[in-house]
């Protein structure tokens, strides 16, 4: 009985047939796996992988190598080493070109690094292999990013997430709302029921709708950005969005701010002004086409004078003067994400060079490269890039400001002051620039002018840190702000 | 005739309309006060708040605004009246109780301040009160993170207990409400490699936590006391420096601490809290707001309350000096020295003023005493060297300058004394010249600045 259940108890002679049997079984399963279609083979190898024998099974060895490479790539992603991760995913694809997981991982990482060509090919292969939602969404979204609107619309029309996934998304969205609401309302138990439960229900519903329409929103925005206004409106109508809300200008929206803004413009053209804030936000994020669409429509309607001024200012100084190709816009956003989200300045600079190749007239990438030099303390190296940025985009105020800062570092203080003053001529209410100008005056020994600028900075923004530090250094901490030394801070 | 009458009536009506402008409503004035306050135009803010409260004497908001702004400006009696009127209208208003607690701290009535805070805690919803009173420190930490008002009140309570002189109770409260965590080395953090990169405020916060969490961290407690003294908090500064002197090694190593108490903290004698608060407000009214009259009035009041408190004298001297009246400045500094003969700052400033008037001998006398009280006074030594040089006392000039340069280099202030070093080199090579040696401003060390 013991011999039947344990191989460890067998004699050397008794073990041999057992090992031969296992080897025949592995070869048999392997040959069977090789004969299967790629999808089924993947599943079969997956099962063998669970018990750890896929690496020694013919037909599954490549899949096993791919699995290990994918795991290594994922670990690299967790370490925020996307370039290393991409190398692993490439190795995975080389080992198992039919692995949809490897292709998808390669596509996602290549996209993050701005390798759009490679990403598109990988997504396409992944979609062909698995037809999964992620692969279709990835390929469709990338098509939208490079301006291939028709492909984007065609692919994204078929990309709907599984219902269960949307439900999970809605559950977690609702739970987050409940936690956040409860943190505020916990001292009053009745408010938990009165306020938090309805808010949770509404949030869950919003998250569910957003999830179901995630891909469609991308297609819709592509149409809007491409100037296909009527088609975009029809698309929204076909998806039942116009019935979701009677007023896209107010209330809670399940969609992201750009889609909401575009729907407001299309559904209520006479009240397009309500999309002004969305437009300004889009401009801040570098969404040139969407921002221009929203802001120009907003400007055509009656607006509060202060909002009108901001819209005009954003159109004039916050966006490039020329039409930026969609590819350049998307690459620029990829570069920004590499900086702000992934903190990979070297990769960011690489993508900026691609932006320059796609649109040499856009000042932003030159400015980013210049700023990168500044952050590394290489102000001499920063100067030519900032000069180039200002040459192609003389209205780029951020570049002008950093140009002034760089001049100051290079001890060209009078020129720096002139540059700050140019920024202030356009943005007289910019507290930060007033403070920088104040510091420049102070370093030149022009203390009265310095103080004047610092006072202005604090009047415009009482929390402006540079100005506060200046006064604290000059006059000591203002003890009047609180009854004790700690509370006054 | 009728037409003429009509014209005359119209003229009267229109003329009258022009003469009588519609009065500004209290609401408009209140908004203006808040706006001016946000923009840092404090005298305007107080003026508008006063008019708002006069226009609406039963408005809680207007009275609270008047009280808050008067308190900010150091007009404590006016603030007390406004808060008193407001609390009569809304006796259970937590914001008013907080305001009363704040004012009580500024006036040194710590028990009253603690009572007001207790009233606010009792006005919280019962689940919060229950947790606040009985939950363990791990729960309190989350409670403080989610309820910023409560967290602020506890921080104020800790400060009040410290200032009251009950450091033990302050530490206990800090542990109880998880302001400090067991096992964490706050003192080490305030001295660590990143300490030089953090802001002055951040360093101050770390030292405060070290004082609360690590009763034996004498050096950090000592630095905290110096920060407080620099900022003008004489009472708490004295208490904390005295606490620091209870720790440490030998009596010899404590000598700088004793000297500090003598030369910067009026020998450890108590300064009435009201006078301290008046001085703090006056200083900022003069320097930041440019309100000379208001500042002088507050300083006079501070001197009435505490004639032996030296800082108002030094401040009055500065105001006189800035107004181009050096004689008056000298008078104020001398009066300051009568009140506190060992005040290093007063001696230092007196020496400096006399130096500018080329009264070399008198300047020398003041500065010699200043550098005795604070041997690391680089600026004082360079000025003393200049006074000595002007009198032809070249050996002593060279010795003082060498001392100053050595100290400055030791404290990473070598660049500030570079001119003096070059001058000394030339002096060593060629002897005295016609021009006087430079006496630059040197950034003072911790504990000796801001006044």
Q: How confident is the model at residue B9 (pLDDT cuts 50, 70, 90)?
A: very low
H helices, E strands: number in chain B: 25, 0
Nearest-by-CA chain B residue for A456: B39
Q: How confident is the model at residue B76 (pLDDT cuts 50, 70, 90)?
A: very high
Residue B292 is assigned to a structural domain of this protein: no
Q: Is A462 on the interface with B (CB under 8 A)?
A: yes
CA of B399 to nearest chain A CA: how many angstroms apart?
A: 32
Instruction: State yes or no: pLDDT of B21 exceeds 70.
Output: no
A45: CATH: 1.25.40
C-alpha angle A135/A50/A59, rounded to 5°?
70
Residue A357 is assigned to a structural domain of this protein: no
Segment among A27-36, B8-17, B183-192 with least mean pLDDT: B8-17
Q: How far is the CA of A133 from the CAs of A119, A206, A254, B321, in angstroms?
A: 16, 21, 21, 78
Residue B101 is assigned to a structural domain of this protein: yes
Q: Which of A268, A285, A318 is the last residue of a domain?
A: A318
**Is the Cβ–Cβ distance between A309 and A295 less than 8 Å?**
no
Q: Which of B249, B268, B287 is the last residue of a domain?
A: B268
**Backbone torsion region of residue A370, taken as left when φ is above 0, otherwise alpha when ψ lies between -120 and 50, otherwise beta:** alpha
pLDDT of residue A109: 97
Output the pTM of the full model: 0.76
Residue range of the domain that includes B58: 26-126
A59 and A183 within one domain: no
Tell me which chain A residues have a C-beta less than 8 angstroms from the C-beta of B126. 187
C-alpha angle B74/B79/B82, rounded to 5°?
160
Asked if A472 and B200 come within 8 Å (Cβ–Cβ), the reply is yes
* pLDDT tens, position by position, B38-54: 888 899 999 999 999 99
Comparing CA positions, the residue from A421, A426, A425 lying closest to residue A438 is: A421
Comparing CA positions, the residue from A257, A254, A259, A253 lying closest to residue A218 is: A259
A184 and A247 within one domain: yes
A185 and A108 within one domain: no
A214 and A101 within one domain: no
A170 and A71 within one domain: no
Q: Which of A276, A293, A318 is the last residue of a domain?
A: A318
CB pairs < 8 Å spanning A and B? 91
Residue B148 is assigned to a structural domain of this protein: no
Residue B32 is assigned to a structural domain of this protein: yes
Q: How far is the CA of B220 from the CAs of B191, B215, B226, B229, B434, in angstroms?
A: 9, 10, 10, 14, 47
Residue B431 is assigned to a structural domain of this protein: no
Both tokens of A448, joined, read: 């009265």
Q: What percent of chain B has pLDDT over 70?
A: 94
**Is the Cβ–Cβ distance between A444 and A462 less than 8 Å?**
no
Average pLDDT of the segment spanning B150-170? 94
B207 and B120 within one domain: no
Residue A437 is assigned to a structural domain of this protein: no
Residue B142 is assigned to a structural domain of this protein: no
Average of per-residue pLDDT values in chain B? 90
B46: CATH: 1.25.40.10
Residue A188 is assigned to a structural domain of this protein: yes
Q: Please identify which residue in the block is written with the tokens 């102070």.
A: A442
Q: Which of B109, B126, B143 is the last residue of a domain?
A: B126
pLDDT of residue B247: 79
Instruction: State yes or no: pLDDT of B251 exceeds 90.
Output: no
pLDDT of residue B268: 87
Give the span between the Cα atoms of A236 and A219, in whole angstroms. 10
Give the span between the Cα atoms of A344 and A351, in whole angstroms. 11
A191 and A111 within one domain: no
Residue A183 is assigned to a structural domain of this protein: yes
- Going by the DSSP 8-state scheme, the letter that residue A193 receives in this structure is I
Residue B251 is assigned to a structural domain of this protein: yes
A305 and A172 within one domain: yes
Q: How far is the CA of A408 from the CAs of A451, A454, B107, B333, in angstroms?
A: 18, 17, 47, 41
Of A186, A459, A485, the CB nearest to B228: A485
A245 and A119 within one domain: no
pLDDT of residue A321: 92
Give the span between the Cα atoms of B257 and A33, in whole angstroms. 83
pLDDT per residue of chain A (489 residues) written in tens, 0 to 9: 344 444 444 555 556 767 667 666 665 665 565 565 555 666 777 776 666 667 666 667 777 888 899 999 999 999 999 999 999 999 999 999 988 999 999 999 999 999 999 999 999 999 999 989 999 999 999 999 999 999 999 999 888 888 888 888 889 988 888 888 887 777 677 877 888 888 898 888 888 888 888 899 999 999 999 999 999 999 999 988 887 777 888 777 888 999 999 999 999 889 899 999 999 999 999 999 999 999 999 999 999 999 999 999 999 999 999 999 999 999 999 999 999 999 999 999 999 999 999 999 999 999 999 999 999 999 999 999 999 999 999 999 999 999 999 999 999 999 999 999 999 999 999 999 999 999 999 999 999 999 999 999 998 998 899 999 999 888 888 899 899 999 887
Q: Which of A454, A460, A476 should one mutate to test binding to chain B, selecting the residue with the greatest count of B CBs within 10 A? A: A476
Give the span between the Cα atoms of B80 and A401, in whole angstroms. 48
Residue B216 is assigned to a structural domain of this protein: yes
A311 and A173 within one domain: yes
A231 and A116 within one domain: no
Asked if B102 and A458 come within 8 Å (Cβ–Cβ), the reply is no
Number of domains in chain A: 2
Of A472, A475, A487, the CB nearest to B159: A487
A167 and A115 within one domain: no
Q: Which of A97, A124, A151 is the last residue of a domain?
A: A124
Asked if A476 and B106 come within 8 Å (Cβ–Cβ), the reply is no
Tell me which chain B residues have a C-beta less than 8 angstroms from the C-beta of A454. none
Listing DSSP states for A319-352 in one string gives S-SSPPPHHHHHHHHHHHHHHHTT--HHHHHHHH
Give the span between the Cα atoms of A285 and A289, in whole angstroms. 11
**Is the Cβ–Cβ distance between A400 and A377 less than 8 Å?**
no
pLDDT of residue A51: 67
Residue A379 is assigned to a structural domain of this protein: no
A216 and A101 within one domain: no
Give the side-chain half-sphere CA count within 13 A for B9. Answer: 6
Residue range of the domain that includes A81: 13-124
Q: Is A78 exposed, middle or buried (0-12, 13-18, 19+ CB in 10 A)?
A: exposed
Comparing CA positions, the residue from B400, B402, B401, B413 lying closest to residue B441 is: B413
pLDDT of residue B13: 41
Number of domains in chain B: 2
* pLDDT tens, position by position, B280-317: 999 999 999 999 999 999 999 999 999 999 999 999 99
Average pLDDT of the segment spanning B153-169? 95
């Amino acid at each position: 009985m013991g011999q039947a259940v344990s191989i460890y108890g067998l004699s050397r002679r008794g073990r041999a047939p057992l090992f031969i049997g296992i080897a025949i079984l592995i070869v048999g399963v392997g040959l069977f796996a090789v004969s299967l279609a790629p999808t089924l083979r993947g599943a079969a190898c997956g099962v063998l992988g669970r018990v750890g024998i896929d690496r020694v099974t013919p037909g599954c060895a490549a899949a096993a190598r791919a699995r290990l490479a994918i795991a290594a790539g994922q670990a690299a992603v967790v370490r925020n080493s996307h370039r290393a991760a991409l190398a692993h995913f490439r190795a995975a694809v080389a080992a198992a070109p039919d692995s949809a997981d490897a292709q998808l991982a390669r596509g996602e990482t290549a996209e993050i690094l701005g390798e759009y060509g490679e990403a598109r090919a990988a997504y396409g292969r992944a979609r062909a292999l698995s037809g999964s939602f992620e692969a279709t969404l990835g390929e469709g979204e990338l098509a939208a990013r490079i301006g291939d609107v028709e492909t984007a619309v065609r692919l994204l029309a078929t990309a709907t997430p599984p219902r269960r996934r949307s439900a999970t998304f809605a559950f977690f969205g609702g739970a987050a709302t409940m936690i956040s609401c409860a943190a505020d309302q916990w001292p009053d138990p009745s408010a938990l029921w009165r306020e938090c439960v309805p808010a949770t229900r509404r949030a869950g519903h919003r998250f569910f709708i957003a999830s179901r329409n995630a891909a469609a929103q991308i297609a819709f925005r592509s149409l809007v950005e491409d100037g296909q206004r009527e088609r975009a409106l029809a698309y929204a109508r076909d998806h039942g969005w116009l019935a979701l809300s009677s007023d896209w200008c107010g209330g809670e929206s399940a969609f992201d701010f750009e889609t909401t803004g575009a729907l407001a413009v299309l559904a209520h053209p006479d009240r397009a002004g309500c999309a002004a804030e969305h437009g300004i936000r889009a401009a801040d994020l570098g969404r040139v086409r969407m921002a221009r669409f929203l802001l120009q429509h907003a400007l055509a309607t009656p607006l509060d004078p202060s909002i009108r001024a901001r819209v005009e200012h954003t159109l004039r100084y916050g966006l490039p003067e020329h039409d930026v190709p969609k590819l350049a816009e998307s690459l620029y956003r990829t570069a920004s994400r590499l900086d702000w989200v992934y903190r990979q300045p070297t990769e960011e600079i690489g993508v900026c060079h691609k932006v320059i190749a796609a649109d040499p007239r856009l000042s932003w990438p030159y400015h980013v490269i210049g700023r990168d030099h500044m952050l590394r303390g290489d102000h001499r190296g920063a100067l030519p890039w900032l000069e180039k940025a200002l040459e192609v985009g003389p209205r780029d105020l951020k570049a002008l400001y950093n140009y002034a800062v760089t001049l100051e570092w290079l001890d060209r203080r009078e020129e720096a002051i002139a540059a700050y003053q140019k920024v202030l001529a356009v943005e007289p209410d910019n507290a930060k620039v007033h403070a920088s100008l104040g510091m420049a005056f102070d370093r030149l020994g022009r203390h009265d002018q310095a103080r004047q600028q610092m006072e202005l900075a604090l009047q415009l923004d009482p929390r402006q840190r540079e100005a506060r530090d200046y006064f604290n250094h000059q006059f000591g901490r203002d003890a009047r702000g609180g009854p004790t030394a700690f509370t006054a801070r | 005739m009728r037409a003429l009458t009509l014209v005359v009536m119209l003229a009267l009506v229109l003329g009258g309309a022009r003469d009588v402008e519609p009065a500004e409503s209290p609401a408009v004035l209140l908004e203006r006060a808040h706006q001016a306050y946000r923009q840092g135009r404090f005298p305007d803010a107080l003026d508008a708040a006063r008019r708002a409260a006069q226009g609406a004497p039963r408005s809680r908001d207007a009275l609270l605004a008047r009280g808050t702004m008067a308190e900010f400006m150091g007009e404590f009696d006016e603030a007390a009246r406004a808060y008193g009127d407001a609390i009569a209208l809304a006796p259970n208003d937590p914001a008013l109780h907080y305001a009363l607690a704040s004012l009580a701290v500024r006036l040194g009535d710590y028990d009253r301040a603690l009572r007001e805070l207790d009233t606010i805690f009792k006005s919280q919803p019962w689940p919060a009160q229950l947790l606040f009173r009985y939950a363990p420190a791990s729960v309190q930490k989350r409670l403080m993170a989610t309820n910023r008002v409560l967290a602020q009140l506890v921080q104020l309570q800790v400060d009040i207990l410290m200032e009251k002189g009950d450091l033990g109770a302050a530490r206990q409260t800090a542990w109880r409400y998880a302001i400090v965590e067991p096992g964490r080395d706050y003192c080490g953090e305030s001295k660590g490699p990143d300490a030089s990169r953090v802001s002055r405020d951040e360093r101050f916060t770390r030292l405060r936590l070290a004082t609360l969490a690590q009763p034996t961290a004498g050096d950090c407690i000592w630095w905290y006391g110096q920060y407080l003294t620099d900022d003008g908090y004489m009472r708490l500064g004295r208490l904390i420096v005295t606490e620091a002197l209870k720790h440490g090694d030998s009596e010899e190593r404590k000598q700088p601490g004793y000297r500090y108490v003598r030369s910067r903290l009026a020998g450890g004698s108590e300064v009435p809290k009201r006078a301290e608060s008046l001085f703090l407000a006056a200083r900022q009214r003069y320097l930041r707001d440019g309100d000379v009259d208001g500042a002088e009035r507050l300083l006079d009041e501070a001197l009435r309350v505490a004639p032996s408190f030296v800082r108002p004298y030094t401040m009055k001297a500065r105001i006189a000096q800035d107004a181009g009246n050096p004689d008056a400045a000298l008078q104020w500094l001398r009066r300051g020295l009568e009140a506190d003969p060992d005040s290093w700052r007063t001696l230092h400033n007196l020496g400096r003023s006399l130096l500018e008037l080329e009264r070399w001998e008198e300047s020398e006398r003041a500065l010699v005493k200043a550098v005795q009280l604070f041997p690391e006074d680089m600026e004082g030594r360079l000025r003393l060297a200049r006074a000595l040089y002007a009198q032809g006392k070249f050996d002593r000039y060279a010795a003082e300058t060498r001392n100053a340069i050595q100290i400055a280099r030791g404290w990473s202030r070598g660049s500030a004394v570079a001119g003096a070093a070059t001058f000394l080199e030339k002096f060593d090579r060629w002897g005295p010249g016609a021009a006087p040696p430079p006496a630059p401003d040197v950034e003072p060390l911790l504990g000796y600045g801001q006044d």
